[in-house]
Amino acid sequence: MTADAAADQSGLCPSCREPVWSDDNFCEACGAALSAMASSAEPEATQPDAGSAAPSDKARSDRDHVEIDLGRVAGVSDRGIRHHRNEDALAVAAGEAASGPVSVAIVCDGVSGSDRGDEASRTAADAAMAVLEPAALQGRDAAAASMEAVQAAQAAVARLAGRSPATGDAPSATFLSAVVTADAVTVCWLGDTRAYWLDSEQGRSARQLTSDDSLAAVLVSAGMLSDVEASSSPQAHIVTGWLGADVSHTAPHLMRFVPPGPGAVLLCTDGLWNYLNDATELADLALPPAPAYPLGTARMLVDFAVRAGGMDNVTVAIASFPPGHQALQESETRRASE
């Protein structure tokens, strides 16, 4: 994994390298939010807008704003405005298996109220990636590898409880992983961190690939709340599935999705879907640039969530499908501009 190179001041969009003006808010070529383009070779703190309500009594950490760019898969994680620390975690990987290119993305979210949620999410993401990346590059079965990865994450987070005070709130985190190959997308999750399919073809429907492990989802399933009521209910974010020493009774979920054509897989924490949880509306905002410019689109979506209120940490990861499609589109775009 490598962090994104520093955004330059040459008048080019740092995402797609197309010309932009200094007063542009968005790149007209790829749709990236230019106001959110600052990054560095090592993730570093970025200051909030002068008029924001970000807490000023806490020093910003190197996790407050993180960007990782591997071309066909990329992600951005931001503390948001209201929280003192970022309890989301992000990990992405890309490489070549014998069967072709493969991308891996993992997003975890520290459970609110649990002890050291930031450490729980980071530990879960790292432990899972240590299993999932080599398995994907070796061409192993993605479903089996995904289950091994979430089990490794569970064991790693559970071990953190031994170093926590006896508060009864053991370190806990949600979990979401995606393995993207030329044939399919394999998603594994526990909690309310979501994955969406964004279809490049107009007329085809975007869809949410995951279902939330939350009290609101239980109440909707029981007919006690409508989808609209659930989205605004305080119960929407009470999770019923998580990783940790006080492990939930919910088992990890697994699904294999075969996309109908080119597009992108989007993973996000509730810091984004708090403001935009309908798959079609999310696709309308993220497309068309998402498959060709994952980093620029992730930046734009994170910026959207922060500007919409930034009430929670927000993390977005985007992987092109098929994995080699993004590089082909970039090549065609460069040739068209020459």
Distance CA 85, CA 90 (A): 15
Check if CATH label 3.60.40.10 holds for domain 65-337: yes
What is the CB-side half-sphere exposure of residue 112 using CA atoms within 13 A? Answer: 17
- CB–CB of 35/303 below 8 Å? yes
- CB–CB of 263/199 below 8 Å? yes
- CB–CB of 195/208 below 8 Å? yes
C-alpha pair distances (Å), 82 with each of 62, 134, 236:
17, 37, 19
Residue ranges covered by each domain of the chain: 65-337
Full pLDDT tens readout for the chain, 338 residues: 333 333 333 455 655 555 554 444 445 444 444 433 222 223 333 333 323 333 333 444 688 999 999 999 999 999 999 888 999 999 999 999 999 999 999 999 999 778 888 999 999 999 999 999 999 999 999 999 999 999 999 999 999 987 655 555 789 999 999 999 999 999 999 999 999 999 998 657 899 999 998 777 666 666 676 666 666 666 666 888 889 988 777 899 999 999 999 999 999 999 999 898 889 999 999 999 999 999 999 999 999 999 999 989 999 999 999 997 554 444 333 333 33
